[in-house]
A and B are shown apart, each in its own frame.
Chain A
Amino acid sequence: MNHLDSLEAQSVYILREAFNKFDRLGMLWSLGKDSNVMLWLAKKAFFGHVPFPAMFCDTGKKFPEMYAFQKEYSVKWGLNFIRRDCPPIEEIDPTLPPAARSAARKTEALKRLIAELDLQAVIAGIRRDEEATRAKERVFSPRGENAEWDFRDQPPEFWDQFKTDFAPGTHIRVHPLLHWTELDIWLYIQREGIPLVPLYFARDGKRYRSLGDMDITNPVSSDADTVEKIIAELRATKVAERSGRAMDHEAEDAFERLRSAGYM
């Protein structure tokens, strides 16, 4: 087994555990590279099927290319696709810094979706290497009734034994990509030929390394217009992946606060 094989096998194991343990389960599909890899892994885990809904919390501010991609692949991949609008900014905690407040709309939409579908668990494509608080996450991460994350008291998790027994009202986030790095994701996209939103590939000296809303995501300077070139670029770069995401950098603990409150 090579490195990508073992990453894949571990993610498949996690997805199958989640599917076994939760009757009401959904997967977040943000249309980005990570969540496409995650859907691909689900098809691997369940032999061509995705046996839970692929959920999209729409801020209404995604790039047109992303909406087009969603239309095409929710059909091609045979997904049970569920889209919900995010609530307007006025309904969000005004004490958050502006970009974080904007991002928190997604958290709120997700909470409402969880309530609407009565979901026990949500699968999300976060990775440890993205950001320091995500590095502390568990694979099966329990949340409070209000989706909040108590990072001070997380359950032990070892030997691939995850917390799957809960008091009523507990909600779980499942993170099958936690052990992947950005480079791993691209190497796997290359190996498997996974389709992507074209914004990741350079046009006029710019490309997106991470896709969020149009107003809070910035492209990086790059000429990498193929998967191969992106991989070569990543091998050389020392720029953090989320440096183009404004909300991570507004205050020392801005992202930590967002995540404690239930952000992905």
Chain B
Amino acid sequence: MTSAQMTDTPITDLAPMKLVIVGHVDHGKSTLIGRMLHDTGSLPDGKMEAVKAMSDRRGMPMEWAFVLDALQAERDQGITIDTTQIFFKTSARPYVIIDAPGHKEFLKNMVSGAASADAAILVVDAKEGVQEQTRRHGYILHLLGLDNVVVAVNKMDLVDHAKDRFEEVAGEVHKYLGGMGITPAAILPVSARHGDGLANKSQNMPWFKGDTLIAALDALTPKPLPVELPLRFPVQDVYKFDERRILAGRIESGKLSVGDTLLFSPSNARAQVQSIEAWSVDGPVLSASAGQSIGITLDDQLFVERGHVASHESEPPVQTNVFRARIFWLGRAPLEVGRRYKLKLATLEHPVEVQAIERVIDVSDLSERPADRIERNEVGEVVLRARAMLSVDEFTANPRLGRFVLIDGYDMAGGGLVSMDGFHDLRRANAPTSQNITAVETRVTTDARWAANGHKSGVLWLTGLSGAGKSTLALELEQALFRKGWQVYVLDGDNIRFDLSADLGFAPEDREENIRRVGEVAALFARAGILVITAFISPYRSDRDRARAVAPDLFHEVFVNAGLAVCEERDPKGLYKKARRGEIAEFTGISAPYEAPENAEVEIDTGALSLSQSVEQLLGYVEANFRTGAG
């Protein structure tokens, strides 16, 4: 905004700064707000009289907190139960005050209030100093990325307006907030009940040379909208009310223009913005930026749905199925390893499983301890895993796509911030990079091939630990079927590594690429009428799901199941021994995870069955599903 606009725009038309008031219970948050409203002339006529009457009725002196505590129970108990919002203005700008309850059991309400704030006032009782909720709220501010903090050391009248005491408390606050990397914009002594140091300079503390609270607030700069960050346009919905197919959503960061090529994650499909649609505006809209709720049409009718994220091709979000997160837990039941929750990140919704709890943080002294659960109102660090690729950002890189909530049953049970520390971005451009390519249709259909072969084709995807018997089983089955005259071929893990995937290692992103290639090749074979048997450990569900997605109607997952102990004892290639000696990094089952299938079409227990029994079982499945006329 230019200065010319500034002077032309009345104060009341500026966007208000959202201010959350936090601090320990009874340190005087509601009183401070009530008095601040009064001292800035923001109370409506009659409000003071009403509050006085309420106070009189209860036989108490003028209770400023009644200005805010709207509920009967709040007034009777003298506490704030739920967050409330109230509007006021100074000569510099309007504000929205978000009053957050101080009681521990109302943390969810405090977070609800604080998460949308631009800045915070932390209220600390001069007599009591930093208390448990001071620390907890300070930590939550830090966690929410709210670093615009003004500290009001309140009730200075109760400590005889002593400079020494103020400096002592200020030192305590500095130390705690500093430990989290927050430097308060100001720390001021006030006496809220008497309006001392709020809008008016204190008469009782001539030793304090700093600002009044109001002046300190007016000096804060609101955070700008993230227009300069890379584009993130999460699709909220797809509308077809009329002839237009409109992708609706809010731009969370960056900007887009008509004609831009957008990359949609996780599908990696690309299309150009054909128009930005709007109702009741003058002229066409040619561009839009962070914060705007818009609708666009594309030049290509891609499959796009809620939760997909549009970006520019050069700066896409991270793609991953596993990430680390800082969590604050509000749920009635504790967060536990192995439990599943629904993750909601922008408009994306997807189930995730808690793979690990790395630590729980004690917010009273910032110490950390290992734990297997995070209780209500605790903060901790966890690893979450999803079955599919999710599009996210590091919270520090882009808060808008780096924060999420977890739903437990019907309830919003926690909030978290994404960290990719120790994990890879698994994005691979699996859309063609070549230009000028056009798909051709073959004239020989798969059905015709099946008729000629006398059997159907498909992919039998064998997955299991190393040593579970995948290759042995695959080769036996291939031979048995070949003898019957079937078109059959084995793609084996080790063989592929000599040629098609000779350039890849065993890091998660290399494994992902390896499986992607095998999935594509297997699907080609299957369409050619051949029954393909693949033998790959393929430890990640998401990778197998992607292989399935290449030819979903032809894909059959076979879980070759033998326990780790059995496989390690067999150790046909001596790899487990090497892995145990630490000579192989990231060995599945030892130092890298194996995610067993959840809905495999067949499970063969090679730990219990003999080889011939196993082959027998698999042959039975093939006969039942691939013989022409079957299945």
A154-B236 in contact (CB<8A): no
- Complex interface bits, B90-126 against A, C-beta within 8 A gives 1, otherwise 0: 0000001000000000001101101110000000000
Knowing A16-B293, A156-B112, A256-B71 are in contact, say whether A51-B411 is a contact too (CB < 8 A). Answer: no
B45-A238 in contact (CB<8A): yes
B480 within 8 A of A: no
CB contacts (< 8 Å) of B512 on chain A: these are none
Q: How many A-B residue pairs have CB under 8 A?
A: 160
Residue from the list B87, B225, B242 in contact with A129, Cβ < 8 A: B87
A192 within 8 A of B: yes
CB contacts (< 8 Å) of B68 on chain A: these are 132
A156-B108 in contact (CB<8A): yes
CA distance A238 to B85 in the complex (A): 18
A213 within 8 A of B: no
B330 to chain A, nearest CB (A): 6
- Complex interface bits, B308-326 against A, C-beta within 8 A gives 1, otherwise 0: 0000000000000000000
- Complex interface bits, B218-229 against A, C-beta within 8 A gives 1, otherwise 0: 000000010000
CB contacts (< 8 Å) of A83 on chain B: these are none
Knowing A156-B111, A240-B44, A240-B45 are in contact, say whether A47-B239 is a contact too (CB < 8 A). Answer: yes
Residue from the list A6, A44, A45 in contact with B15, Cβ < 8 A: A6
B87-A181 in contact (CB<8A): yes
B277-A47 in contact (CB<8A): yes
CB contacts (< 8 Å) of B241 on chain A: these are 46-49, 51
A235 within 8 A of B: yes
- Complex interface bits, B411-444 against A, C-beta within 8 A gives 1, otherwise 0: 1100100000000000000000000000000000
Q: Which residue of B lies closest to A157 (CB)?
A: B112
Knowing A6-B291, A9-B293, A47-B278 are in contact, say whether A152-B73 is a contact too (CB < 8 A). Answer: yes
B474 to chain A, nearest CB (A): 44
A161-B405 in contact (CB<8A): yes
CB contacts (< 8 Å) of A156 on chain B: these are 108-109, 111-112, 330, 412, 415
A50 to chain B, nearest CB (A): 10
- Complex interface bits, A1-23 against B, C-beta within 8 A gives 1, otherwise 0: 11111101110110011011000
CB contacts (< 8 Å) of A132 on chain B: these are 68, 70, 84
- State which of B6-14, B179-187, B518-526 sits at the interface with chain A: B6-14
Apart from A3-B13, A136-B70, list 14 A-B contacts with CB within 8 A: A16-B237, A20-B237, A47-B242, A47-B295, A133-B71, A135-B70, A135-B84, A155-B411, A157-B412, A159-B116, A161-B344, A161-B412, A166-B410, A192-B280
Q: List 21 A-B contacts (CB under 8 A).
A: A2-B13, A12-B250, A20-B237, A40-B280, A46-B241, A47-B279, A47-B295, A49-B242, A133-B70, A135-B84, A136-B82, A159-B405, A165-B407, A165-B410, A166-B410, A167-B410, A179-B96, A181-B87, A240-B47, A252-B54, A252-B72
User: Residues on B close to A: CB < 8 A?
Assistant: 10, 12-16, 41, 43-47, 54, 57, 68, 70-73, 81-87, 96, 108-109, 111-112, 114-116, 225, 236-237, 239, 241-242, 244, 246, 248-250, 277-280, 289, 291-293, 295, 306, 330, 342, 344, 403-405, 407, 409-412, 415
